[in-house]
Amino acid sequence: MADGTRTVPAGRWRGGTVTAAGGRALDARPAAAVAAAFTALQLLLVRPGMGLGWDEIVYVSQVTAHTPAAFFSAPRSRGPSLLAAPVASWSSSTELLRVYLALLSGLGLYLALRAWRGLFPAGVLATAGALFATLWVTLFYGPQAMPNYWVAVGALICAGSFLRARAEPSARSALWGVVAGAALMAWMRPADAVYATLPLFAVALWRRHGRLLLALVGGLAAGGAEWVVEAYAWYGGLGERLHEASRIQGGLGWQIAVDDQLRSLGGRALCRPCTGAFPHPAVTLWWFALPPLAALGLAVAVRAGRTARTLVPLACAATAALPYLFMIGYAAPRFLQPAYALLAIPVADALRHLVRTPAGRWRPVAATLIALGLTGHLAVQYAVLDRTVDRTTRDRRDWARTADALHRLGVRPPCLLTGHEAIPLGYYTGCSSGNTTGHNENTTPAEVGRTARRVPVAAVTLPGAATPGYARDWTPHRIGDLRVLVAPRPPAAGPDRAGGFPGDGAR
C-alpha cells in the first residue's frame, strides 16, 4: 500500500501530508466540539426518561442488585453489562444511567477521532465525526447499554492507531491504541472484533509488522478472554458456544440481508422477520450515497499518494459489514454502526475534495449543493429518530403499566414471570423471568410448577395463543392486549434455599 506520509503532527494538508498548524491543543478542539454536541443531542433528542429495552434489560440486570438477572444467551458478551455497572450496580435510575452513557459515548467519540490525528486534517476528522454522530441510529443507541456503538468506537481507535503505528513505529501510544481498540471490540462483541480486524491482520502479516500483529492478537485476547472462559464453564467449550450462538441467530451462512437492512433504516430496532414495505426513498438515500462517496475518497487518496490511510478503514468497514449483510437472515440498524463509523472518514475526505480546490479555495456551487444535501439528510435523520424515540418510549411505558397491573394482581417480588415478553416484563415487575421454549429457554414446566408452590408466578400469553400445560388451572386475567394466567397464591412466599428462582443467574 502506498502511503505518502511519515509525520504525525496535525494541521494543514500539503502534498498528502498533514503538517503542524497551531499545536495539539488547537487541533483537538474540532473533535471535542463534535463530541460535546453529540452528547448534548442525545440528552435533548433521545431523552433520559426512555425506559430500558429488551437487550438492555438483559445486560443491565447482570450487574444490578435491584432485579434478578435475566437469561444470558450464548451470543452475548459481558461488555455492555460492565459498561453500565458503575451506575447500574448501585442505582435503579434509568435517567441517571442514560446521562452517564451519553457522557461516556461522547468521550468515546472524541477518543476515536483523536486516534486519527495526523492522518487527516482536523476538519476532515470533525466532519467524519459529525456525519457518524448525526445518524439517527448513532444518536438513538449512544445513551443505551448496547454493544454496537462501542464496537464502532473500538474499530476507529484500532484502525487509526494501527495506521499511526505504521507511520511512526516509535510511537508507543499508537501501539497501545491498537491494543485498546481491539480489546474494546472483543469485550463488546468478539465475533465483530474478528471481522473488523481482518484487514489489519492482513496488512500486518504482509508487511511483517510483528509488533502490530502482537498488539492485535493481545487486544483481541484481552477483550475476548472472558467470553472464551465462559464458553468452557457453561457451554461445554468454545465450539459448543459458537454453535449455540449460530443457532440462536438463525444459522450463520450465505443469507442476503441487504434488503432487510434497508427496511430497518425506517426506525425498526429489530427486523426479524423482516417483512413489509421499504421506507420512503428519502430515508435510504444516504445509504446508497455512501459507496460512491467512499470510492471517491479512495480515488482522492490514491492521487495524493496516501492510499493506505483511506483503504484500511474502507477494508475494515467492508469486513465488519459482511456478516450482517450476507450471513444472517434478519437485520437491525445498529449492526452496521462499525461500518458507518469507518466509512465516515473517507466520505468526509471526499466531501472536502468536492467543496475545495487543491489550492484550498472554496467551490461555491458544489459547497452550496452539498450543504443543501446535508441539511436534507439531517432533517430525515431527525424525523426517523423522533418517530423511533416516541414509539419506543410508548412501548416501554406499556411494559411499566403491565408491571403495575401485575403488582395489583399480587405478582410481586420475589416472583416469576414466564411466556410472552417475560424478560422485559419480569424486569419492570421485579420478577425473575423464565421460558420453557425458544431462544431464551432456561427452565422447564416442572420447575415452574415447583416455583409456583413457593412464590407468585404468572404466565403471559397473547390472546388466542395456546395455554401452557403448567398453567391450565391458573386464573386468567386480561391486561391490555395480553392474557395473564396467575398461579394460585402460595401458602408462603420466599426464595428457595439457594436464594433464587428458575431463570436467575448469569446465563
382 in a structural domain: no
With CA atoms as reference, report the closest residue to 337 among 92, 72, 115, 144.
Answer: 144
C-alpha grid cell, residue 79: 461488555
The C-alpha atoms of residue 164 and residue 175 are separated, in whole angstroms, by 8
- What is residue 71's DSSP assignment? P
| Residue 343 sits in the same domain as residue 448 | no
Say yes or no: 338 and 407 in one domain.
no
Residue 32 lies in a domain: yes
User: How far is Cα 238 from Cα 245, in angstroms, rounded to an integer?
Assistant: 10
Q: Cell 483537538, residue? A: 28
For residues 430 and 331, state if they share a domain. no
Q: Which amino acid is located at 89 in the chain?
A: S
List, for residues 176-189, the tens digit of each pLDDT value: 999 999 999 999 99
Q: Where are the alpha helices (DSSP H) in 249-336?
A: 258-264, 281-303, 307-326
Residue of 445, 388, 443 lying closest to 53 (CA atoms)? 388
How confident is the model over 408-461, as pLDDT tens digits? 999 999 999 999 999 999 999 999 999 999 888 999 999 999 999 999 999 999
Whether the predicted pLDDT of 308 surpasses 90: yes
Q: Are 33 and 469 in contact (CB under 8 A)?
A: no
Across 463-489, average pLDDT: 94
Q: Are residues 277 and 426 located together in one domain of the fold? A: no
Q: Cβ distance 248 to 439 under 8 Å?
A: yes
Q: Are residues 437 and 340 in the same domain?
A: no
Distance CA 322, CA 233 (A): 30
Contacts of 38 (CB under 8 A, 6+ apart): 105, 106, 109, 129, 133, 138, 139, 142
Q: How far apart are CA 221 and CA 110, in angstroms?
A: 25
C-alpha cell at 379: 432533517
Residue 98 lies in domain: 11-355
Is 392 a member of any domain? no
116 falls within a domain: yes
Higher pLDDT, 445 or 25: 445
Cis preceding linkage at 273, omega within 30: yes
Lowest mean pLDDT among 7-11, 278-282, 452-456, 466-470: 7-11
Q: Which of 117-131, 172-186, 269-283, 453-467 is the least confident region?
A: 269-283
Q: Is residue 394 part of a domain?
A: no
Q: Which of 136, 128, 133 is nearest to 106 (CA)?
A: 133
Name the band, by pLDDT with cuts 50, 70 and 90, for residue 497: very low
Please give the single-letter amino acid code of residue 386: D
**Which of 303, 332, 355 represents a domain boundary (last residue)?**
355
285 and 166 within one domain: yes
Q: Is residue 183 part of a domain?
A: yes
Measure Cα distances from 416 to 262, 396, 465, 502 in Å. 38, 20, 20, 8
Other Cβ atoms closer than 10 A to 507: 16
Are 342 and 430 contained in the same domain? no
pLDDT of residue 243: 93
Q: What is the CA radius of gyration of the chain?
A: 25
Same domain, yes or no, for 411 and 324?
no
| Residue 123 CA: distances (Å) to CA of 129, 145, 290 | 10, 30, 19
Q: Which of 355, 383, 412 is a domain's end point?
A: 355
Rounded CA-CA distance 158/178 in Å is 4
- In a domain, residue 506? The reply is no
Same structural domain for residues 436 and 324? no
Question: Does 131 share its domain with 256?
Answer: yes
Displacement of CA 434 from its chain's centroid (Å): 26
pLDDT in tens, 218-229: 999 999 999 999
Over residues 470-491, the mean pLDDT reads 93
- 43: closest CA among 92, 87, 105, 88? 105
Is 388 a domain residue? no
What cell does 495 get? 426464595
How far apart CA 122 and CA 502 sit, in angstroms, is: 54
What percentage of the chain reaches a pLDDT higher than 70?
A: 92
CB 431 within 8 A of CB 498: no
The total of structural domains in the chain comes to 2
pLDDT tens digit sequence for 327-366: 998 899 999 999 999 999 999 999 999 999 887 889 999 9
Amino acid at 332: A
Long-range residue pairs from 222-226, CB within 8 A, at least 24 positions apart, any chain:
222/179, 222/182, 222/183, 222/186, 223/79, 223/182, 223/183, 223/184, 223/185, 223/186, 223/187, 223/188, 223/190, 223/193, 224/186, 224/187, 224/190, 224/193, 226/77, 226/78, 226/187
Claim to verify: residue 351 and residue 419 sit in the same structural domain: no
Q: Is the predicted pLDDT of residue 10 greater than 50, yes or no?
A: no
| Domain match, 333 and 410 both | no
**Final residue before a domain boundary, out of 355, 390, 409:** 355
Instruction: Look over the chain and give the mean of its residue pLDDT values, rounded to a whole number.
Output: 91
157-175 average pLDDT score: 93
Phi, psi (degrees; rounded to nearest 5) at 128: -60, -45
pLDDT given for residue 411 in this prediction: 97
For range 95-107, the mean pLDDT: 98
- Residue 457: enclosing H or E segment and its boundaries? strand 457-461
Rounded to an integer, what distance in angstroms lies between the CA atom of residue 432 and that of residue 436?
A: 13
Upper half-sphere CA count for residue 437 (Cβ side, 13 Å):
5
